[in-house]
Amino acid sequence: MVRNIPIKHLQKMIYNWKVESVGDLDDYAKKFIALFPEPKIFALSGEMGNGKTTFIGAILIQMGITDFDGSPTFSLVNEYEINESKKVYHIDSYRIENNKQVLQLGLDELIDEPNYFFIEWAEKLAFILPKDVIWVYIRKNENSITREISFEL
28-49 per-position pLDDT tens digit: 999 999 999 999 999 999 999 8
Task: Tell me: pLDDT of 120 over 90.
Answer: yes
Range 139-152 burial, b when 16+ CB lie within 10 A, else e: eeeeeeeebbbbbb
Q: The domain that contains 135 carries what CATH number?
A: 3.40.50.300
Residues 110-115 have a mean pLDDT of 94
pLDDT at position 83 is 85
State which residues form the domain around 74. Answer: 38-144
Is 119 contained in some domain?
yes
Residues 92-120 have a mean pLDDT of 94
Number of domains in the chain: 1
Task: Tell me: pLDDT of 51 over 60.
Answer: yes
Is 152 contained in some domain?
no
Q: Is the pTM of this model over 0.85?
A: yes
Can you tell me whether residue 77 is helix, strand or coil?
strand
